[in-house]
Amino acid sequence: MKKVKEAKRYAKALLGIVGFDKALEALVELNRVHDLMVKSKEFRGLLVNPQFSSEEKEKIIKQVADRLKLSESSVKYILHLSELGVIIYLSDIIKIATAIYLEKKKKAKAVVMTPIEISKDDGERIKSSLSKLIDRDVDIEYVRDPSLLGGILIKVGSTMYDTSIKGQLRLLKDELIKG
């Protein structure tokens, strides 16, 4: 629970620092840093380990920033998180900041799982229907899942819309059990 509170606090701070007009750029940059942390144990160790001095961290982060093309505000933010020892929450901070950003911009990200490939026309109909349902502009990621027998499964944030045959049979079973 503390992890989520901390991540939310720093996500809000990030958006406050960079502003909503540059939030998307900052989130992309932070994702690059997070990816590097996942790939390189040495880099992650540098950021997490309190035995490294601020000067050592700053020197290496600035070198990495040149390669990753990070803005000055992102570099300062990463250094700040590292100094406070909350850099380990970076993936959660990115997720929460993205959710807050999308909420403010009246946008949503949806994952649509289907057993078959979706045609362009069907994709447009799904996008249109989903936009009307949640009253937001929707960016959709399509995932092909052959284990679904039919229908689709849609995840928007923490909400699931299940029109799959398996889901409908589960609802029918629950209703029959209730009597």
Contact in structure between 109 and 141 (CB atoms under 8 Å): yes
| pLDDT at 179 exceeding the cut of 80 | no
Contacts of 99 (CB under 8 A, 6+ apart): 157
Q: How many CB atoms lie within 10 A of CB 90?
A: 23
Segment 75-104 mean pLDDT: 86
pLDDT per position as a tens digit, 146-174: 888 888 899 987 788 888 888 888 888 98
Residues 117 and 15: their CA atoms lie apart, in Å, by 37
Segment 57-78 mean pLDDT: 85
Q: Please state which architecture CATH assigns to domain 106-178.
A: 3-Layer(aba) Sandwich (3.40)
Residue boundaries of the structural domains of the chain: 2-102, 106-178
CATH number assigned to the domain covering 2-102? 1.10.520
pTM, full prediction: 0.64
pLDDT per position as a tens digit, 112-152: 999 888 888 988 998 898 888 888 888 888 999 888 888 88
